[in-house]
């Protein structure tokens, strides 16, 4: 995947900005994890979840990747239901891809 499957046309300005940031992280692995998660979840996120996701987008990529892979414990401020969904998203995507092949 090279970019977003979600059209920004129907999104408000905040969600468009978040979508852009999610797909342009700096680490390709994080582009895929955060971008695909944004594609799937962003339209339905509450304002509180948008706040949480923006806070995650502000965290350094190596740290977030270590939290996702379990290499480092998730700090309490980031250990939220939204992060739990983010952490499961790559595994679910891999499982779906495996079923297709």
Per-residue pLDDT of 67-91, as tens digits, reads 999 999 999 999 999 999 999 887 6
Q: Which has the closest alpha carbon to 96: 48, 58, 47, 40?
A: 40
Q: Which has the closest alpha carbon to 20: 35, 5, 40?
A: 35
Is residue 5 a part of any domain in this protein?
A: no
**Structural domains in the chain (count):** 1
Mean pLDDT over 20-47 rounds to: 92
pLDDT digits 0-9 by tens, 25-34:
989 889 999 9
- Supply the CATH number for residue 37's domain: 1.10.150.250
Mean pLDDT over 46-62 rounds to: 96
Is residue 76 a part of any domain in this protein?
A: yes
Is residue 96 a part of any domain in this protein?
A: yes
Is residue 3 a part of any domain in this protein?
A: no
Is residue 4 a part of any domain in this protein?
A: no
Least confident of 16-30, 50-64, 84-98: 84-98
Q: Which domain holds residue 76?
A: 11-100
Using the 8-state DSSP alphabet, how is residue 70 labeled? T
């Amino acid at each position: 995947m090279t970019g977003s499957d979600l059209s920004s046309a129907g999104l408000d300005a905040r969600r468009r900005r978040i979508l852009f940031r999610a797909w342009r992280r700096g680490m390709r692995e994080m582009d895929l994890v955060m971008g695909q998660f944004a594609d799937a979840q962003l339209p339905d996120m509450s304002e509180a979840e948008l706040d949480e996701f923006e806070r995650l987008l502000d965290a350094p990529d190596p740290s977030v990747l270590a939290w996702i892979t379990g290499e480092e414990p998730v700090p309490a401020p980031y250990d939220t239901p939204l992060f739990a969904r983010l952490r499961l998203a790559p595994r679910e995507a891999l499982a779906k891809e495996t079923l297709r092949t």
